[in-house]
Amino acid sequence: MATDNLTGLPPPVDVVIMAAGKGTRMMSSLPKVLHRLAGLPLMSHVLQTARSLQARNTVVVTGHGADAVEAALGGPGAHPGLQFARQMPQLGTGHAVQQAIPLLADDGVVLVLSGDVPLIQADTLRALVAACAGQRLALLTIHFADPTGYGRVLRTGNAVQAIVEHKDASDAQRAVTEIYSGIMAAPARALKGWLARLDNRNAQGEFYLTDVVRMAVSDGLEVVAHTIADPLQVAGINSPAQLAELERAHQMRIAQSLMERGVRLQDPARLDVRGKLECGSDVEIDVNCVFEGRVHLADGVKIGANCVISNCVIERGAVIQPFTHIDGEKAGVTVGENARVGPFARLRPGAQLGADVHIGNFVEVKNATLAAGAKANHLAYLGDASVGERVNFGAGSITANYDGVNKHRTVIKADAQVGSNCVLVAPVTVGAGGTIGGGSTITKDTPAGALTVARGKQVSVAGWKRPVKKPQP
């Protein structure tokens, strides 16, 4: 590999990501590169990959929906070296890269990526940069049985001579199955010279980046193709159908890699991971589950069908029954060892369940700690609460945590039993081992060990006669 004369290191890499195109075929007001694959904007996949290369600078070329795209990526400096260049109007891929030129130093290798090709892998890009070696033009290519629409790689013998766009190609050229992926690596100084010489005399009246290949050849610079076999890495998104197809293919790969690590999926075709899912051994996941953000499932965890689980840690042996929604957002959710949650349960940010806790159907828990062995099995709300060990929280009972302005905390000490249909008006504390009679509205702290009842006394009126209907006149 060519090295910098002074430092002996390979030249630094600067990435240009083209993301100014309209994406007409998405038929959407959302810029194409902000449509989501596996829960993340297309553009963010590319940016993450670029970051993992430790590029010196990354310039995103925006145009259509530029404000929205730049805001979605956090604006300039959101990561070290992230910059934006505007392309207005959009006159082609060559014109797009021209906009980034003022931000690029002469001494590096420029790696050109597309914001709508989300699954390109860092290893592939490293190999492409190595093929460029600071002194060659390196093109990422692939063979497609049906190359319709793509730029074709033209060779004489083995030597790459040019890329011809489908619309400009002759029938003989269209028969070529090796296509250009839209991704290249080039020495910055040479690339700048070629871009300055581009014209738009072609079938689409655009400034084609691909015309730099002919220029490199005529300058006597070597052009190399790095050819890969994996079509998903270079799949571009142009329509909702392509987006859905790539989503399924990507999800199937995620499912396969989970199964390779021993996760038992009831059906790999019915799993959606939109973030990072880590699993211990002997994890079982039933059909139609969605995992978002960071989710950790420890050894022996079982997830029932139709659960949506986001930003959460589920400890060893816990069972999440069908139709449960867990969303930790920023505060996170923890489900303790051997706990049982669901069916139809809802755990919200800050729910911290200890070992052996049971949360049953139609129970909502938010910003609440339940110590080991606590149970709320039916139709309950525990919000802003600290619940002690072995507490039993009855059906239909709630913590009234909100006075219309502020949130207050409810403390239920260990071994307390809260009957059915109680309202605990916070701030309030239920004493250890105490019992709250069903139907009570508790507004004052209750003593440990006592039975507290706060409801109208039951009365019976002997011989009571119900009113009778008056006869109609």
Q: Return the residue of 11, 41, 65, 92 that touches ligand UD1, per CB under 6 A.
A: 92
Q: Find the Cα–Cα–Cα–Cα dihedral 348, 354, 356, 361, rounded to 10°.
A: -20
State the minimum distance, in angstroms, from the CB of residue 127 to ligand UD1: 18
292: amino acid identity, one letter: E
Would you state the torsion angle of the CA atoms of residues 329, 332, 335, 337, taken in this order, to the nearest 10 degrees? Answer: 140
Residue 45 is a binding residue for ligand UD1 (CB under 6 A): no
DSSP lists the bridge partners of residue 186 as 110
303 binds, among Mg ion, ligand UD1, none (CB under 5 to 8 A by kind): none
Verify binding: residue 166, Mg ion, rule CB under 5 A. Answer: no
The least distance separating Mg ion from the CB of residue 238, rounded to whole angstroms, comes to: 6
Specify whether the CB–CB gap between 410 and 391 falls below 8 A: no
CB of 336 to ligand UD1, least distance (A): 46
CA distances from 238 to 68, 199, 243, 308, 471 (A): 19, 26, 8, 29, 76
Q: How many residues bind Mg ion (CB under 5 A)?
A: 1
List 44, 49, 98, 114, residue binding ligand UD1 (CB under 6 A)? 114
* Residue 12 to residue 54: CA distance in whole angstroms: 9
**Which residue among 163, 271, 357, 416 contacts ligand UD1 (CB under 6 A)?**
163
Strands 137-143 and 178-187: antiparallel
Q: Name the segment binding Mg ion (CB under 5 A); options: 128-136, 154-162, 236-244, 414-422.
A: 236-244
- For the window 186-205, what string marks contact with ligand UD1 as x by the rule CB under 6 A? --------------------
Task: Identify the helix (H) or strand (E) that includes residue 173.
Answer: helix 171-174
Positive or negative, the CA dihedral 174, 178, 179, 180 is: negative
Q: Does 180 bind ligand UD1 (CB under 6 A)?
A: yes
CB of residue 18 to Mg ion, shortest distance in Å: 10
Q: Which of 90, 352, 399, 435 binds ligand UD1 (CB under 6 A)?
A: 90
User: Binding segment for Mg ion among 82-90, 229-237, 281-289, 295-303 (CB under 5 A)?
Assistant: 229-237
Q: How many CA atoms lie within 13 A of 407 on its CB side?
A: 9
Helix or strand (DSSP H, E) at 291: strand 289-297
Tokens of 335: 């489900």
Residues 400, 381: Cα–Cα separation, whole Å: 9
Q: Which is nearer to ligand UD1, 49 or 90 (CB)?
A: 90
User: Which H or E run includes 361?
Assistant: strand 358-370
Strand partners, 36: 41
Is residue 233 at the binding interface for ligand UD1, with CB under 6 A as the rule? no
In the bound state with ligand UD1, the residue whose beta carbon lies nearer, of 212 and 265, is 212
- Minimum CB separation from Mg ion for residue 116, in Å? 6
Q: 330-358 burial string, b = 16+ CB within 10 Å, else e? A: eebbbbbbbbbbbbebbbbbbbbbbbbbb
Closest distance of CB 252 from ligand UD1, Å: 22
Binding segment for ligand UD1 among 91-99, 316-324, 326-334, 390-398 (CB under 6 A)?
A: 91-99
Rounded to 5 degrees, what angle do the CA atoms 90, 95, 100 make? Answer: 105
Asked whether position 208 contacts ligand UD1 by CB under 6 A, the answer is: yes
Query: Which residue, 176 or 432, is less far from Mg ion as judged by CB?
Result: 176
Give whichever of 60 and 371 is closer to ligand UD1, judged by the CB atom. 60
378 is catalytic: yes
Tell me which of 13, 20, 385, 442 binds ligand UD1, using CB under 6 A.
Answer: 20
Residue 427 binding Mg ion, by CB under 5 A = no
Q: How would you class 192 by CB atoms within 10 Å of its CB: exposed for 0-12, middle for 13-18, buried for 19 or more?
A: middle
- The three-class DSSP label of residue 196 is helix
Q: Does 49 bind ligand UD1 (CB under 6 A)?
A: no
Residue among 291, 115, 293, 462 at smallest CA distance from 301: 291
Catalytic residue, candidates 143, 296, 378, 408: 378
> Binding of Mg ion at residue 236 (CB under 5 A)?
yes
Q: How far is the CB of 42 from Mg ion (least distance, A)?
A: 12
Classify 435 as helix, strand or coil: strand
Minimum separation from the CB atom of position 175 to ligand UD1 (A): 16
Residue with tokens 């828990």: 365
Select 65 or 187, whichever has its Cβ closest to Mg ion: 65
Q: Which residues pair with 423 in a beta bridge?
A: 398, 441
| Measured distance CA(225)–CA(154) in Å, rounded | 11
Q: Which residue has the closest beta carbon to ligand UD1?
A: 151
Please report whether residue 285 would count as binding ligand UD1 according to CB under 6 A: no
Stretch that binds Mg ion, among 46-54, 80-88, 232-240, 448-456 (CB under 5 A): 232-240
Binding site for Mg ion (CB under 5 A): 236
Binding site for ligand UD1 (CB under 6 A): 18-21, 61, 63, 87, 90-93, 95-96, 114-116, 150-151, 163, 165, 179-182, 208-210, 236
Which residues participate in catalysis according to the annotation? Answer: 378
